[in-house]
Structure 1
Amino acid sequence: MKNNFRATNQLCETLNKYLGLSFCPIALNEKATVKENCDAIIERIREIQAEVEKIDEKLKEQLEPTLYEKLKNMSLSVPEFQLVSSVVHATCGVAAIAASAVYVVELVVWLIQNTDILADMSEVFHKIAIVVLSSVALGVFFAGIDMIAQAIIGSIERNELESALEEYDKALEEFRPASEKYQDHITYVRISIEIKKNTINAAI
């Protein structure tokens, strides 16, 4: 969970830097419930999705269909790239104008191509947020299962607790690989952009 908050904030930093957006960091709260922490990430993912949709729609409006498809596939010729980069800069504002066209376009393409990653993570967090134990404070989970039992004892029976834990385990089976994929994709795009940036700066 901590790593997903960190990865989401890193993605937001990249979007702020290169696309002129203004996302504030979000923080994991161990005193809040599992659901409340999941909802915080879901809300931020939806905000990112909304910004990606805006950019995507503007590009669809301003580019010819064949050029838009070439952009998505990153199969642009040099003249086409120059045309597309000017449209991307106009779409993304001042921050993009200050950056190199190569990594701004790279970021925009990655966002358009990977909207399913954001959607999948939102769905996974939603599943975690609706299981029985999601009302327990996240810090209790970090402390261990015995603490969970002590926290819930008296409010639900032992068999209900075991059933809830089984339900939670099933949700976590989806959560772990999905969150790893999410974090890996964000790391990949950040590293790719930095490599391109350093390569361009070295050439200059």
Structure 2
Amino acid sequence: MAQSDFLYPENPRRRQEVNRLHQQLLDCLSDSFQVTNKLTGVLNTHLGCRLAFIEMKRDGTIKENCDIIIQAVMKIQEELQKVDTALKDRLEPTLYRRLQDIKERETEKIAIVQRVISVILGEATSAASAVAVKLVGSDVTSGIMNKLVTVLARIGTSLLGSIGVAVLGLGIDIIIHAILGAVERTQLQAAIKSYEKHLVEFKAASERYHDAITEVTRAVKCQIR
């Protein structure tokens, strides 16, 4: 038992809470890595991209891993922007505007993209058109991805950023030491509040991101059948 536990008997419970929240943060990070790789696979297969898959750095910090995801998402956005620009150049202005219209039926949008996608990619399937419609110029690219990047950047610059992702297996006291170098009541409470604050945002952003990519892969499967 740490010396401060005699003065603050609630500290052991607070350590357990930090441990639990740390695991939740790691779970969200791991999920974001997996979802980003799923999207990377779809883009490489159907839009001819050459994006690299990413891997969680087990000996790195929370910030380092947040940065890995941020860079991957930004590269994905760059590739999608290239496709968007090509569509805008190839399509008549009225047809391009229809792609941006949320009221336009998705089947109609796919038909519009199919007119020029093969010219852009050299060779393309109907699945490529579906991917382009789901991602190019959509809320996935401009809203959902941007929100995820913003949340990850905030976590990286918070007091959690310097924590190593692998410290969980080393014991609760190691986590606490890594955070603030002490286990006094006010410092534990500050750590818990920081975890809770960032987890609320991160969970919401990662869930929207996951749902959006799941929708993209579902649309691809429908076109392949």
Tell me the TM-score normalised to structure 2 length.
0.75
Counting matched residue pairs gives 191
Give 2:217's aligned amino acid.
R
Using a 3 Å threshold, how does the CA distance of structure 1 residues 118 and 130 change in structure 2: closer, same or farther?
Answer: same
2:134 is aligned with 1:110: yes
- Residue in structure 2 matched with residue 85 of structure 1 by the alignment: 114
Using a 3 Å threshold, how does the CA distance of structure 1 residues 156 and 187 change in structure 2: closer, same or farther?
Answer: same
Uncovered stretches (5+) of structure 1, i.e. residues with no partner:
199-204
RMSD: 2.4
Selected match of 1:39 from 67, 70, 74: 67
In the alignment, the residues of structure 1 paired with residue 191 and residue 154 of structure 2 have an alpha-carbon distance, to the nearest angstrom, of 13
- Residue in structure 1 matched with residue 190 of structure 2 by the alignment: 163
2:212 is aligned with 1:185: yes
On the 8 A contact 1:35/1:128 being kept in 2, the answer is yes
Using a 3 Å threshold, how does the CA distance of structure 1 residues 162 and 135 change in structure 2: closer, same or farther?
Answer: same
On the 8 A contact 1:131/1:168 being kept in 2, the answer is no
Q: CA deviation at 1:151?
A: 3.3
| Structure 1 stretch displaced more, 82-91 or 44-53 | 82-91
Give the helix-richer structure, 1 or 2. 1
Give 1:52's aligned amino acid.
L
Q: CA deviation at 1:77?
A: 8.6
- Residue in structure 2 matched with residue 131 of structure 1 by the alignment: 158
On the 8 A contact 2:160/2:179 being kept in 1, the answer is no
On the 8 A contact 1:12/1:23 being kept in 2, the answer is yes
Tell me the TM-score normalised to structure 1 length.
0.82
Aligned-pair identity in percent equals 34
Give 2:130's aligned amino acid.
E
Q: CA deviation at 1:147?
A: 3.5
- Residue in structure 2 matched with residue 55 of structure 1 by the alignment: 83
- Residue in structure 1 matched with residue 200 of structure 2 by the alignment: 173
Q: CA deviation at 1:32?
A: 0.3
- Based on CA coordinates, which of the two structures has the bigger radius of gyration? 2
Q: CA deviation at 1:111?
A: 0.9
In the alignment, the residues of structure 1 paired with residue 189 and residue 64 of structure 2 have an alpha-carbon distance, to the nearest angstrom, of 22
Give 1:135's aligned amino acid.
S
In the alignment, the residues of structure 1 paired with residue 43 and residue 221 of structure 2 have an alpha-carbon distance, to the nearest angstrom, of 13
CA deviation vs aligned residue, 1:50-101 (integer Å, no higher than 9, x gap): 11111111211221221012234454898x966642422222x24xx1x42x
